[in-house]
């Protein structure tokens, strides 16, 4: 038990539900898993102390159905609700409902989440806090004419972003003025359909940039710390595939400036909980605020591996009103994470669900696997394609890369119709730009283009 928290309902599925359940068990806290019909035989259901079915497979009728989750919490006597990542984790309405119904929400305050979840508002707040921003609009833009005028003024390429976007969705890069109007209309329609909010803004698109982010923790007693930087530059369509900590190739002075900016931004908005400040790093060493994720990140294990801090445990303690036990510390060694997704790189990363006839995951010294899959597991078509995260630690970066190559070579996940990113990730680790830490967000797009040209 931590504070008044005796039982936590985990409002999520897959590997993150398993992750939260394990930490709660170590803290002496009981857990409740919620599950859709598609996840009836899931690992989270088996590991939790109790499990409650909340609906059929589609997420809108289960993991996004707030009344069903609240009723499950009420029926099982839960004291708190952990939202994991994705689904309702950054939904301020869900956080408010949890608090109104008497449950501790293990996440950022609803008002902070609401302000930072609106990307244009977040840009304005961070600008006021002194964080550097790329040229663009602070407020949503009304009409394609005004948007194009701004794009013409700041210069191409630009990126159109949905105010309510996140997780790599709701973005469109425009390289030429003639393409802008169509891109604007298509992005607006997509944002309205996906997020229920068609508002957009425009900013300068930074070519050859690196994507770096800062893990912060903040308690209710005014303490805010950062736990170093992660590099998340290896992406396809803004979706991360490989992450590492610390971000390689940065001077200690630059890394500390970026970390201090994140702490300054968190203090400016009264942030509480675990959060991530994301930045773009230009080739000239200048960095620019991008967004805040008011939740636990998929890639949080690399920070845990280099700091020894259990971020979920800190989340629970913060939510219970306790002081942070983690302190700002320089990372030790290097950690790398590879995401094993049920996607086919030879078909432009098309989803490839199916039943796993063989599932062999790696082990050995300093290898961690966060997963929910097993032999015989039927990968549902309803959700994100993430099957497992392989995380390794080593004293230095070359040793970490060698360990990850060995771990990926040990990995076998196959079944009828199932394809994964495993071999593609192995190839990325061998790429000379990755090994030299000169990679950027465009690298995987270049590789997939080349692969398509060869087929």
- What's the rounded Cα separation, in Å, for the pair 447 and 442? 9
The three-state secondary structure class of 232 is: strand
Write the DSSP assignment of 68-106 as a string of letters: HHHHHHHHHT-SEEE--SSTTTT-HHHHHHHHHTTPEES
The C-alpha angle 210, 215, 216, rounded to 5 degrees, equals 140
From the CB of residue 182, how many other CB atoms can be counted at a distance below 10 Å?
Answer: 12
Report angle CA 48, 52, 57 to the nearest 5 degrees: 110
* Catalytic residue selected from 19, 172, 295, 368: 295
Structure tokens at 79: 């004291």
Report residue 80 CA to chain centroid gap: 22
Q: 236 an active-site residue?
A: no
Using alpha carbons, list the distances in angstroms from residue 145 to 117, 137, 148, 312, 372.
26, 14, 5, 46, 48
Give how far the C-alpha of residue 123 lies from the chain's centroid of Cα atoms, to the nearest Å. 19
415 contacts: CB under 8 Å, gap ≥ 6: 354, 355, 356, 357, 358
Backbone angles phi, psi at 20, to 5 degrees: -65, -45
- Best CA proximity match to 352, nearest among 325, 385, 320, 324: 385
Residues identified as active-site: 295
């Amino acid at each position: 038990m931590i504070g008044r928290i005796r039982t936590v309902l985990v409002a999520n599925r897959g590997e993150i539900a398993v992750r939260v359940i394990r930490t709660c068990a170590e803290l002496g806290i009981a857990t409740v898993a919620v599950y859709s019909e598609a996840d009836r035989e899931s690992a989270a259901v088996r590991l939790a102390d109790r499990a409650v079915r909340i609906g059929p497979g589609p997420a809108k009728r289960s993991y996004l159905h707030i009344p069903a989750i609240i009723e499950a919490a009420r029926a099982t006597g839960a004291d708190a609700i952990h939202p994991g990542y994705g689904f309702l984790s950054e939904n301020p309405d869900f956080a408010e409902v949890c608090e109104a119904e008497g449950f501790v929400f293990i996440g950022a305050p609803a008002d902070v989440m609401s302000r930072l979840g609106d990307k244009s508002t977040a840009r304005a707040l961070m600008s006021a806090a002194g964080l550097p921003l790329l040229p663009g609009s602070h407020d949503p833009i009304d009409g394609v004419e005004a948007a194009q005028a701004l794009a013409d003024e700041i210069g191409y390429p630009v990126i159109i972003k949905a105010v309510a976007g996140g997780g790599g969705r709701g973005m469109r890069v425009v390289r030429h003025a003639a393409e802008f109007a169509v891109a604007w209309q298509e992005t607006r329609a997509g944002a309205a359909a996906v997020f229920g909010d068609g508002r957009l803004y425009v900013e300068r698109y930074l070519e050859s940039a690196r994507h770096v982010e800062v893990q912060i923790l903040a308690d209710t007693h005014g303490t805010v710390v950062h736990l170093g930087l992660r590099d998340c530059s290896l992406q396809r369509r803004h979706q991360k595939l490989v992450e590492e900590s610390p971000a390689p190739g940065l001077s200690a002075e630059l890394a500390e400036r970026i970390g201090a900016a994140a702490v300054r931004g968190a203090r400016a908005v009264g942030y509480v909980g675990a959060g991530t400040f994301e930045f773009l790093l230009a080739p000239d060493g200048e960095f620019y605020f991008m967004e805040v994720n008011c939740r636990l990140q998929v890639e949080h294990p690399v920070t845990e591996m280099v700091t020894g801090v259990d971020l979920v445990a800190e989340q629970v303690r913060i939510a219970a009103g306790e002081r942070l036990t983690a302190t700002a510390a320089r990372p030790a060694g290097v950690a790398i994470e590879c995401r094993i997704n049920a996607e086919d790189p030879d078909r432009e990363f098309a989803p490839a669900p199916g039943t796993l006839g063989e599932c062999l995951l790696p082990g050995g010294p300093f290898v961690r696997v966060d997963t929910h899959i097993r032999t015989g597991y039927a990968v549902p078509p309803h959700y994100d394609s993430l099957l497992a995260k392989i995380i390794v630690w080593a004293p230095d970066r070359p040793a970490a890369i060698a360990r990850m190559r060995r771990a990926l070579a040990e990995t076998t996940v196959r079944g009828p119709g199932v394809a994964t990113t495993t071999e593609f990730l192995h190839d990325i680790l061998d790429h000379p730009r990755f090994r030299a830490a000169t990679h950027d967000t465009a690298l995987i797009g270049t590789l997939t283009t080349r692969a398509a040209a060869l087929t």
